[in-house]
Structure 1
Amino acid sequence: MPVISYSPVILTVPGRPVDLQVRVSAPTTGTDLPIILLSHGHGFANNLSSLNGYAPLANDWAARGFVVVQPTHLSSRTLTSLVADAPGAPYFWRSRAEDMSQILDQFDAIENAVPGLAGRVNREHVAVAGHSLGGFTTTQLLGAQIVDPETGEIADLREPRIKQGIVLAAPGRGDVLNGPMADAIDFARTIDFSTMTTPALVVIGDKDDSQHFTDLGPEWHADPYHLAPAPKSLLTVFGAEHLLGGIQGYDAAETTDEDPQRVATIAQLTAAYLQTQFHVDETAFQTAADELVKLASVEAK
């Protein structure tokens, strides 16, 4: 169905170095619409790591009946000159998760800012999705814990208002980090998925070999499925590398495995998963999995 995309909606957050800006994409018609909070990754391109990225997913999800809210996290390259010396730079792992809670706290302002959206949203049906570093943010919001490397204290950033998760090519366990870039994500060394109790679909590419972080191979990205408690589902996309066919932007030069059909498959299956979980269509996920069996496999626990 037709989609409206509105940005920026500007939210003031006390103590944040800059205001929190978000993009909202939603279908032009319909009510009782579930929410997807979409966390961008930490890629090399400027605007793909911001509210302007991930259009292939955001537009598709909105057309399928979701309200998609995309923040520009402090880790975005669009903000580097403004926040380079701020606490938590350059990855802002804690702030990224807190951004999503702020969005839910200020959702009245978001609904009122976007023309035609007020009164059409189901705030009980909230999901979080994220890719790569955004996937790490997603696992935290679903309950995964880490030991803060600066304080030595356990960081629990679970957001109870979030009922479902879509974890896209996220980092796996930290005790196998041995690649040349391992120290760059030192905060991830203590990730504990055993506390990630919120239901989720973990999405991986069977060619996503992140040698710069670990020599464990593509299976490393499945750790949020294998090491977290049920209920969880695992979607393995055949032939997909880390950018999963190009989910981060249309025709992005940094995509190494560009494949529009692969992106469409991921968009369809992830939307169908949430439609089933939120009881919009009880058979949507199984039907989509059966239709796309040659492009991806699904397992669950």
Structure 2
Amino acid sequence: MNAVRRAGRWAVLYATLVGIVMIGLAAHAGSYLFGFTQPSATASQDADPMLSHAAPGRHPVGIRRIGPDDAPVAMTVWYPASDSTDSEPATRYSYSLTVLGTQTATALATYPGVARHGVEADLAGGPYPLVVLSAGFAISPASYAWLAEHLASHGLVVVAPQHAETLDPSTLWRSAIDRPEVVAQTRAHVETAATPGGDLAGLVDPKTVAVVGHSYGGYTALAAAGAQLDPDAFTSGCATARADDDPIVFLCDALQPHLDDIVVARTTEPEPVDAVVSLAGDAAMFGETGLAAVTAPLLVIGGTADHDSPFDWTTRLAYESAASRHKVEVSLRGAGHFVFTGGCDRTRRILRLVTTGFCDDPAWERAKARAVTQHYVAAFLLAELTGATAARTALTDPAEPSGVRLRSAEPSR
């Protein structure tokens, strides 16, 4: 029983997903449960004056997809567009994970967006800062379109590479090697495409860059910002976690047998970044010393009831250990792990019957959690990448929205 509890909900979620797929493959008996619900009624929410940067920016949003034949990895680009009246319909996104050892994503839910495919970019205001968005382990980039669209509306170009993963814990160690390299490949491709005559020329400034990620994407963002693996610290922490029946043990079991392989394979120093954002990002493998190598401005956001990437091993550890002169910690009290993932306007019916955390949260309405996240991520990136004074002021407001605890360290003036 202890072993099951220590594994946390991650293994349970994996088993649930496999079950969903198997039900979907069954004949008529599973078709109803595997089908989607009707779109949920959209609850009207009054704008919270404390979350000023949760409001959409002034730019319409465009989206384009770059296939693996045209870039080192497939990637999705969200960008400020020049016209919102284009005849192209707004994009509807799939909140998906890849399971069962295939490269075919399984949609858990879908939700509406505002971006229109292929519309003309607003080059008059460009080039815009680059944000590389790293999705959670085996989660599709489109699952974070709600955040990508928001940042693009505020004048940022968001590029999300497709990490080639399946929801298999035995491959976590391999992704620890591959993910920072994918970020480097993405940045290199964008830099080339931004040169005169390139597909992104005049649209993006690849020299002004932030990396944002959720969960294992948060690990990726921290690694891209220079965090160094510390096998000794991780091994020591895992010993403590096993003694305490801490859910982080699942990560220990997945990574510890391969620590030497990871250290040997990660030899390339990342290019500097101007800002880094980690949403419930795995940080335990870096330890305090490894995280001290992070000097770029840092924003960390996490749920205090996260049992998949526990708060103390992710958000708090990164905030307290990074050497960043400007860093901000946002705690969502009582929130779980998947509060940062895709919308659940239409969900698989089986998810209404089984509590998984994918589309439910113990303490937060998804819309409110999104608004808080959009506010702090947008304000932080605008402050660090564009020098926006109003955005920096929003980060230093001592008043806290309901359910939020804020800590920050400001550089001396």
- TM-score of the aligned structures, taking structure 1 as reference length: 0.76
Shift of 1:272: 0.6
Check the 8 A contact 1:10/1:20 in 2, yes or no: yes
Counterpart of 1:242 in structure 2 is 337
Task: Name the amino acid aligned to 2:205.
Answer: N
Residue identity matched to 2:189 = Q
Counterpart of 2:405 in structure 1 is: 297
Question: Who is 1:226 aligned against?
Answer: 320
Cα separation, 2, equivalents of 1:3 and 1:283: 22
Return the letter of the residue paired with 1:133. Answer: Y
| In 1, Cα distance between equivalents of 2:321 and 2:390 | 27
CA displacement at 1:50 relative to structure 2:
2.5
Which of the pair has more CA radius of gyration? Answer: 2
Specify whether residues 193 and 279 from structure 1 end up closer, same or farther in structure 2 by C-alpha distance, changes over 3 A only: same
Q: 2:278 aligns to what?
A: 167
Question: How far apart are 1:173 and its partner, in Å?
Answer: 2.5
**Cα shift at 1:107:** 1.4
State the shift of 1:284 in Å. Answer: 0.8
What's the CA shift for 1:152?
Answer: 5.4
Code of the aligned partner of 1:10 = P
Taking the aligned partners of 1:32 and 1:167, their CA distance within structure 2 comes to: 25
CA distance in 1, matches of 2:193, 2:141: 14
Q: Is the 8 A contact 1:268 1:288 kept in 2?
A: no
Is 2:147 the partner of 1:36?
no
Letter in 2 for 1:37: V
- The alignment partner of 1:192 has SS state of helix
Q: 3-state DSSP class of the match of 1:171?
A: coil
**1:69-127 deviation line (CA, Å, top 9, x unaligned):** 001112255xx8xxx99xx6675211111111111212155458x99842122222100
What is the total number of aligned residue pairs between the two structures? 263
* Paired position in structure 1 for 2:154: 64
Do structure 1's residue 256 and structure 2's residue 360 form an aligned pair?
yes
Distance 2:394 2:288 in 1: 37
Q: Which has the higher helix share?
A: 2
Tell me the SS of whatever aligns to 2:283. coil
1:112-147 Cα deviation digits (max 9, x unpaired): 8x9984212222210000000110111111111115
Q: Is the 8 A contact 1:269 1:289 kept in 2?
A: no
Instruction: Report how far residue 196 of structure 1 moved.
Output: 1.9
Matches of 1:234 and 1:192 in 2, distance apart?
18
1:8 corresponds to which residue?
66
2-structure distance, mates of 1:200, 1:158: 19
Give the one of 13, 24, 27 matched to 2:80: 27
In structure 2, distance between residues paired with 1:151 and 1:137: 13
CA shift in 2, pair 1:152/1:63, >3 Å: closer
Aligned-partner SS, 1:204 = strand
SS in 1 for 2:211: strand
For the 8 Å contact 1:276–1:284, the answer to whether it is kept is yes
Identity across the alignment (%): 24
Identify the residue that residue 207 of structure 1 maps to in structure 2: 305
Does the CA-based 8 Å contact 1:171-1:220 persist in structure 2? yes
Which moved further from structure 2: 23-32 or 287-296? 287-296
Give 1:236 shift: 1.6
Matched position secondary structure for 2:389: coil
Preserved contact between residue 143 and residue 157 of structure 1 (Cα < 8 Å): no
Structure 2 unmatched ranges of 5 or more:
1-58, 82-121, 232-258, 352-357
In 2, the alpha carbon distance for the partners of 1:298 and 1:26 equals 30
Task: Give the match's secondary structure for 1:149.
Answer: helix
Distance 1:194 1:289, change over 3 A: closer
- Retained in 2: the 8 A contact 1:143–1:156? no
Q: Deviations over 1:225-275 (max 9, x none)?
A: 1112132221222342112x3x32111651332421211210121111011
The structure, 1 or 2, with the larger RCO (C-alpha pairs under 8 Å, 6+ apart) is 2
**Residues 50-199 of structure 1 correspond to what in structure 2 (within 5 A)?**
50-76=140-166, 91-108=174-191, 110-111=193-194, 117-146=200-229, 147=231, 148-150=259-261, 153=264, 155=266, 158-174=269-285, 192-199=290-297
**Distance between the aligned counterparts of 2:398 and 2:262, measured in 1?**
49
User: Aligned AA for 1:167?
Assistant: S
> Who is 2:393 aligned against?
286
RMSD: 3.2
Contact 1:33 1:65 in 2 (8 A): yes
Give the gaps of 5 or more residues in structure 1: 14-18, 44-48, 175-187
Q: Distance in 2 between matches of 1:220 and 1:151?
A: 19
Per-residue deviation, 1:190? 9.9
Counterparts of 2:311 and 2:182, CA distance in 1: 29
Q: Give deviations 1:30-53, integer Å, cap 9, x for gaps.
A: 31311110001125xxxxx12322
SS at structure 1 position matched to 2:386? coil
Change (3 A) 1:297 1:133: same
3-state SS in 2 of match to 1:54 = helix
Distance 1:132 1:51 in 2: 13
Cα 1:52–1:259 change in 2 (3 A) is closer
TM-score normalized with structure 2 length: 0.56
